Amino acid sequence: MADPALVQGVAANTVDTPRLRTHLLAGGTEGGEPVFFVHGNVSSSRFFEETLAALASEAGYWGLAPDLRGFGGSETKPLDATRGLGDFSDDLYALAGALGLEDRKIHLVGWSVGGTIAIRYALDHPEGVASLTLVNPMSPYGFGGTRDASGTPCWPDYAGSGGGTTNPEFVKCLREGDRSEEDPNSPRNVMNAFYFKPPFRAPQEREEVLLSSMLSTNVAEENYPGDTAASENWPTVAPGAKGDTTSPILRHL
């Protein structure tokens, strides 16, 4: 049964793949030309609802927005940071297979970290990609730790990136399910300051849905924000071996 809280024209489903039980939102023409919408960190497919609903007027496109592992309604499984975004890319490929899309070309739309997951998918499966659209993507070399467009590390151990560079107060608020506006580090304030351009704010009911989406993040070393390693180099933290996407990415290919 459809979730009554979903935007009209959007349906929810759960798809079992060999890798992951994946929660999925869909809109547009079922069976049409497939478009994967890949969300970013500390969010879920709910951020794409209005876009999926708008596909109803775009004949022939089938919009598919999965929750990545550890986010939204999808299964939580550990992430291997030594593979960069490999786990996420493999999850999407397994989903494509479970949906019967393994022999079709898929349009990829990625937002933030999702943009770089889309890049990784296109590198892993170039024959299966029809187009690549990036919305404010993360650098293909991760958050921090590099100094130029070629991804040259500032330090050999990529110090300055990894889970240790994440704002600990924001992570604490996520873990505690903070819905307040008092703390500047609260998910609500972070969303309204950085996800959207102030002074824009979503309508109150919609803001609560998007906030719940952020709070669905599984906060753990094996997921978000990932673990960290001590470093002799500034700022004394380097990427660990477990967890989410703040570590350098394409060096793991």
Q: How confident is the model at residue 34 (pLDDT cuts 50, 70, 90)?
A: very high
pLDDT digits (tens, 9 = 90+) for 183-200: 999 999 999 999 999 999
What pLDDT does residue 246 have? 53
Question: End-to-end distance of the chain based on CA atoms, in angstroms?
Answer: 41
pLDDT digits (tens, 9 = 90+) for 116-155: 999 999 999 999 999 999 999 988 888 888 898 888 889 9
Closest C-alpha to 163, from 81, 246, 57 = 246
pLDDT digits (tens, 9 = 90+) for 148-186: 888 888 999 889 888 888 899 999 999 999 999 999 999
Assess if CATH 3.40.50.1820 describes domain 1-138: yes
pLDDT digits (tens, 9 = 90+) for 78-129: 999 888 899 999 999 999 999 999 899 999 999 999 999 999 999 999 999 9
pTM of the model: 0.94
Indicate the range of 9-18, 61-70, 80-89, 113-122 predicted with least confidence: 80-89
Question: What residue ranges do the domains of the chain occupy?
Answer: 1-138
What pLDDT does residue 3 have? 54
User: Measured between alpha carbons, how far is 177 from 112 in angstroms, rounded to an integer?
Assistant: 22
Predicted confidence (pLDDT) at residue 1 exceeds the cutoff of 50: no
**184 against 228, higher pLDDT:** 184
Please provide the DSSP assignment of 84-137 as one string: TTHHHHHHHHHHHHHTT-TTS-EEEEEETHHHHHHHHHHHH-GGGEEEEEEESP
User: Measured between alpha carbons, how far is 116 from 158 in angstroms, rounded to an integer?
Assistant: 18
